[in-house]
Structure formats: structure tokens, C-alpha cells
Amino acid sequence: MSMSPRALNLRALAVSAVALFLGLTLHASAAQAHDVLLSSAPADGETLSAAPTEVRLAFNNDILDLNAAIVLTDAEGTVLTEEAPVVDGTEVALPLPDGVPAGVWTVTWRVVSSDGHPISGAYEFTVDAPVVTTVEPTDSTEPLEPTDSDTTATGTSESEPSDSASAVETGDDGSESGVGRIVAFVVVAIAVVGAVAAGIVRRSRS
């Protein structure tokens, strides 16, 4: 018994519908097999009062250590660090340099899930840490220059002799002149005594 063309068309349509349903079901199952991001630190939309030290992502299954990437950019699109993230089981972490500046930061990530398919995503957080200022040294720390009075006093004490030194020098001159006078007096006295003695000798002979 042959089937009518209408019955054949209905049968073909039914087979196509079943095939389409099976295809969609398999695709949905494959999509559900991909790992998903469970949490992040900093969290999506979080405002921090201190600069973070890392970005850490946690997934529902172990992540394959294949070309994992976490990129942190500021509001102008500048990349903060070129460091590669570290994959450790279900977590992927990116170490950050000290002192992440205040502002809005975007985390863009891409990893390979446990089923071998790459997954990716992005989110933002804000750093509202106070700005650390460096105190510059004041003028009081500079060495003091000598004043005019100090210079005058120093010059006077070095260039002019003291009264005691003058007195010592004067005393030396006086003692030398006194010795000279005594020597002259002795010479004169000897001459006088010699003259008197000579006169006495002449008189006694005559």
C-alpha cells in the first residue's frame, strides 16, 4: 500500500521537527556544561576604601591552565599590569602592584573551562582610597649661614692682638733696656775707679 504525497510530507515534517528538537537539546546541554563564574574579589560594582592587592575569580569547576587572561584597565583604557594570572584549581588570581590609584576599574577576563571551551566576561569596581601625600622638608632644615656679627667677631679675634700679649711684649723691651743701663753703669764705675787708682800711684811716686 503506497502512501499519498500528503502523508509523505507530514512524515517528513515530523522527522525534521524531531531532529530540530534533538539538536537544540544537545546544544543546550553543551552550553550548560561550560563552567560559570561564581564570585570575584573585588566584586562586581564594589567600592573599595583601600587599594586591592589582587583580582581573584572563582568558578564552579577546575579551570584549565591554558592562556588564561585577566586584564585590569582604568577609565581611559590604560592597562595597569602586564602580569599573567595564576590558575589554581577553580580559582584564577591576578597579583596587582602596590597603590592602585583611585577611580573606576574594569576587569576583563578569559579562561578555558573544564570542558575545553573558552569562556569570558567583564565587570567593574571602584577604588575610593585616600591619596597619600609626601611631606617635603621645610626651610628650617637648611643649614644656617653665619651672620655679619659672627663674621666681625671672628675677624677681630684673629687679626688684633690682645692687651695681655701687648703687655708681655712691652715687658720684654723694658727688661732689655734695664740690663743695658746696668752694664753701662758698671763700665763707667770701673773707669772712674781705674782713674782714681792711677792718680794715687803717681802721687806716691813723686
Domain presence at residue 72: yes
Domain presence at residue 45: yes
Instruction: State whether residue 151 is helix, strand or coil.
Output: helix
- CATH no. for residue 114? 2.60.40.1220
pLDDT recorded at residue 27: 47
Domain presence at residue 118: yes
Domain presence at residue 86: yes
What is the DSSP-derived secondary structure letter of residue 97?
A: -
Indicate the number of domains in the chain.
1
201 residue type, one letter: V
> Containing domain of residue 78, as a range?
38-127
Domain presence at residue 76: yes
Domain presence at residue 156: no
Domain presence at residue 153: no
Closest by CA position to 126, among listed 43, 37, 40, 38? 43
pTM, two decimal places: 0.51
Mean pLDDT of 17-27: 55
pLDDT recorded at residue 137: 61
Domain presence at residue 103: yes
- CA atoms of 41 and 56, how far apart (whole Å): 5
pLDDT tens-digit readout, 81-136: 999 999 999 999 999 999 999 999 999 999 999 999 999 999 999 999 875 555 56
Instruction: State whether residue 177 is helix, strand or coil.
Output: helix
